[in-house]
Amino acid sequence: MPWILVGFLISWGWQFFFRQERIDFVMKKIGLIVLYFFVPPLVFRIFLDARLTLEMAEFVGLTCLTIIFMYVLAYLYARYHIRRRVVDPGSDKLYLKTLLTSQGRSSAFVGGAILAIKEWGVPAAIFMALMGIALFAVMPYILYRMSKREQRAQTDPLKLPWFLRFYPWYFSSFVVAAIVVHQTTGLTTKELGDWGTILRFYTALTIPIALYYVGSGIHPQDLKLIELKKLTGLIQDDQVEHWLWVRQIFYLTAVITPGIIFSIFGLLYVLNVIPGPWMAVMVINACLPITGTNMFLVPYGLDKRATAHAVTWSTLIGVPVTVVLIWIFSIYL
């Protein structure tokens, strides 16, 4: 986890030499490199070494239900505020899409640290794969349907870049390939000899690189006391609605959703309905900060500034919580 601090400090240092827009552009490219060339091989190695059972199939079903529940919760939360007229009537669709998408979490970045714990590896990889598909395949389709009427008046409607539309299937192909190879041949990284050693070394680099990326995404200019006061509503400025949106996204993703998920799965664990690793993976993923890759969905009609501020502050709070939970659960579960 110190790599998060390293990423933040290096990003802060670059600001003395380059504009923030240039730094963000470079980090966006680094994020794509991590998504395409580091996370999928790591998941491939985990599933290649894993022994899949009926129990894991049950976990897949439970994960699907959990992800659906998270998005339904976000939808109901948004509709509640819209009905209360907290949001300007002219911005209700923009608000709904922005808040709904905010439930996508950084499973491929901060969540990648969970993969380092052997007992949690397969469940964490399953959650990561399904969340990736939900965020980059299902959500864009839903956003497109929600925006279809608005886009009819546009001659050239915006679309998600091809490399992000392709990613869920590319990512899933590594999971399928690992399962097929292991189930048909019984091979693991140990049987691969030197190639297995190289694969383990290469995939071990994923965690520090991904965490460095997360740290670099925290903008120092946003970490001001006055910004925190705006977030909490202690002071108002001329952008009241903007900070209201950020605050509501923050409460949903950092307080409400983790609290409900912890209550549900904590109770199931106490009642011996699910094993400890399942509970740990579900709770930690619910506490993860909003993924910076949500910014790639802005062309579908999200509020860019509200999403960016929510990513920054949820990362600042979510990462320490995630670190503590990983430490506690790894000891007692």
Q: pLDDT exceeding 90 applies to what percent of the chain?
A: 15
What's the pLDDT score for residue 63? 93
- What is the chain's mean pLDDT, rounded? 79
CATH number at residue 312: 1.20.1530
Domain of 26, in residue numbers:
2-332
Number of structural domains in the chain: 1
What's the pLDDT score for residue 275? 93
pLDDT digits (tens, 9 = 90+) for 129-154: 788 778 777 787 787 777 666 666 55
Evaluate if residue 266 carries a pLDDT over 70.
yes
Please provide the DSSP assignment of 45-90 as one string. Answer: HHHHH----HHHHHHHHHHHHHHHHHHHHHHHHHHHHHHTT-S-GG
